[in-house]
């Protein structure tokens, strides 16, 4: 079920159409119209989220041309009945290591790279647990950008705990004692789903 207000989905589509139009049209009159549509969508989103229109425009500024969903990868490294989590520098809460996938990396490579960068541990992606539409599962994420989230079950390969540029602490936690989570990044339900797939590897991938 979609957890965000229906109007936000409409405004996201309107902003995407305006961005795509600006990326491809060469007609000056069309550019003026698309620019105005973009400005109006930013104003409406800003009012809904209680932020500034400039902040909304800045969040969408790196999406020139044809606007498509972003891809967020998350790695569940489960060892000895506990899952690896990192404390996010931005909000002080915990999450599965991950983030937006980098260009030129396959999804499995991207999540493995994120785990090393954020936790110091090396891991191997062994199963795609879920491919989810962020707006259907995350109440706490205010960003307008549309995003797909890929959750991988990963096997611990080596390394040692070390914080990265975006993290301040690293730890392993049991399923029944999860810390305060950064809910825009992962939810308790998503982590429990990863535990279930670790116990039952024959389960099929969950997807929207």
pLDDT tens per residue across span 141-179? 556 678 999 999 999 999 999 999 999 999 999 999 999
pLDDT tens digits, residue range 6-42?
Answer: 777 787 788 888 888 887 888 988 989 988 988 888 8
The pLDDT value recorded for residue 3 is 60
Backbone angles phi, psi at 110, to 5 degrees: -65, -45
- Please, is 160 exposed, middle or buried when counting C-beta atoms within 10 Å of its C-beta (0-12, 13-18, 19+)? exposed
Vertex 156 angle, CA 155 and 157, to 5°: 110
The pLDDT of residue 86 is above 90:
yes
Mean pLDDT of 101-105: 87
Stretch (H or E) spanning 5: none
Within 10 angstroms of residue 99's Cβ, the number of other Cβ atoms is 18
Q: Is 67 in contact with 37 (CB distance < 8 Å)?
A: no
Q: Is 137 in contact with 176 (CB distance < 8 Å)?
A: no
Least confident of 85-94, 97-106, 175-184, 188-197: 97-106
Residue in this structure with the two tokens 């979609």, named with its chain if needed: 2
The pLDDT value recorded for residue 59 is 67
pTM score: 0.75
47 falls in which pLDDT band (50, 70, 90)? confident
Pair type for strands 147-159 and 70-79: parallel
């Amino acid at each position: 079920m979609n957890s965000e207000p229906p109007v936000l989905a409409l405004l996201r589509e309107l902003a995407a159409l305006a961005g795509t139009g600006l990326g491809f049209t060469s007609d000056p009159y069309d550019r003026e119209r698309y620019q105005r549509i973009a400005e109006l969508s930013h104003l409406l989103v800003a009012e809904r989220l209680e932020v500034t229109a400039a902040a909304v425009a800045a969040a969408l500024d790196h999406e020139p041309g044809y606007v498509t969903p972003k891809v967020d990868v998350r790695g569940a490294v489960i060892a000895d009945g506990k899952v690896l989590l990192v404390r996010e520098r931005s909000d002080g809460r915990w999450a599965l290591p991950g983030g937006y996938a980098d260009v030129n990396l396959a999804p499995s490579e991207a999540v493995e790279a994120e785990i090393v960068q954020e936790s110091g541990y090396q891991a191997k992606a062994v199963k795609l647990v879920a491919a989810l539409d962020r707006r259907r599962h995350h109440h706490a994420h205010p960003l307008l950008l549309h995003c797909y989230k890929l959750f991988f079950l990963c096997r611990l390969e080596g390394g040692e705990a070390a914080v990265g540029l975006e993290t301040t602490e690293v730890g392993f936690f049991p399923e029944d004692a999860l810390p305060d989570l950064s809910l825009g990044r992962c939810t308790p339900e998503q982590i429990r789903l990863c535990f279930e797939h670790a116990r039952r590897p024959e389960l099929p991938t969950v997807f929207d």
